[in-house]
Structure 1
Amino acid sequence: MAVQVAVCGPRECTEEDRGNARELGRLLAERGAVVICGGYSGVMAAVAAGAREAGGTVVGVLSRDTKEGANPDLTVAIPTGVGEARNNIIVNSGDAVIVVGGSWGTLSELALAMRRGRVPVVQLGGWRILDERGRPVPGIRHAASPEEALELTGLWA
């Protein structure tokens, strides 16, 4: 069975996050991984485009009950009709979770992935989660590049 990597990120993202996501998609496809994402715009569109251009497979888990608005670079679109609850489906589908950028929805995906506790969670850019003393919360692996993000998953060691 193919490795599945959940890539999470905001619909509205920076150009840096867009570039990182696109490169991440390309690198994942080159390694034969299936990309799981939210299936719409922003980081989701960029990771899908990068993977598609490299011949990869991208599954979009959609919040709506139709394919309306789904990114055209998806290989498979799954309309769920469950709204933001689809975030749990996305993170539970990955053998690793990579978060690119930051938003409230992305933060929820990061939190769900950390609660899951069974897979590596890597963050590339975006918001930093700190404890009550201002220290980084343990367990989240921070990457400075798409290449390092893949390395930190440990899936291709």
Structure 2
Amino acid sequence: MDNPDMHSQRYVGVVGPGEATPEQRRVARQVGGLLAGRRAVVVTGGLGGVMAAASRGAIEAGGTTLGLLPDDDRVVGNPYLTVAIPTGLGEMRNALLVRSSDALVVVGGSWGTMSEIALAVRTGVPVVSIGGWKMPAGGVLDVESPEEAVECLHALLWRKDA
């Protein structure tokens, strides 16, 4: 049986440092809540920092979260995951996260985050960044706020179905 909602459902990766600052966690939590308000599934690496904050915001807003964990055990996942998938791939899970997302929201920066940005730009996945590292090449849209990030994604992902 075909579910029409399944085809319009958006999966948005929220990426950033596992060792996030309080401001990065605040921004990520707000992003997660706003995405959940648009009925997007929030996809993260499933651990702490930005990942946990985005997942928490989504859950608090009644949304769905998916964590692609680096380890073989789902108990390492943060408590805000609706679905936790233990990949056993370590940092290589970043490619799974990018390829399973319709777009990425970057909050802050780290080397793991940089790899996710590079994979997304290389494969044509839209990237919106709030307070992330400045990229020397194109492909990343820098915005000032969670609201602006989600509005940009709305224009890119949801309006094309209208």
TM-score norm. by structure 1 comes to 0.92
| Residue of structure 2 equivalent to 1:120 | 126
- Are residues 1:21 and 2:23 paired? no
Structural mapping, 1:129-140, within 5 Å: 129-130=135-136, 137-140=137-140
Alpha-carbon distance in structure 2 between the residues aligned to 1:108 and 1:81: 18
Q: Out of 54, 57, 73, which is 2:64 matched to?
A: 57
- Are residues 1:142 and 2:148 paired? no
Q: Which moved more, 1:146-155 or 1:46-55?
A: 146-155
Q: Which residue identity does 1:155 align to in structure 2? A: L
The answer for unaligned runs of 5 or more in structure 2 is 1-5
Q: Which moved more, 1:147-156 or 1:79-88?
A: 147-156
Percent of residue pairs bearing the same amino acid type: 57
Name the count of aligned residue pairs.
150
TM-score norm. by structure 2 comes to 0.89
Q: Secondary structure at the match of 2:132?
A: coil
Alpha-carbon distance in structure 2 between the residues aligned to 1:116 and 1:98: 15
The answer for unaligned runs of 5 or more in structure 1 is 131-136
RMSD: 1.0
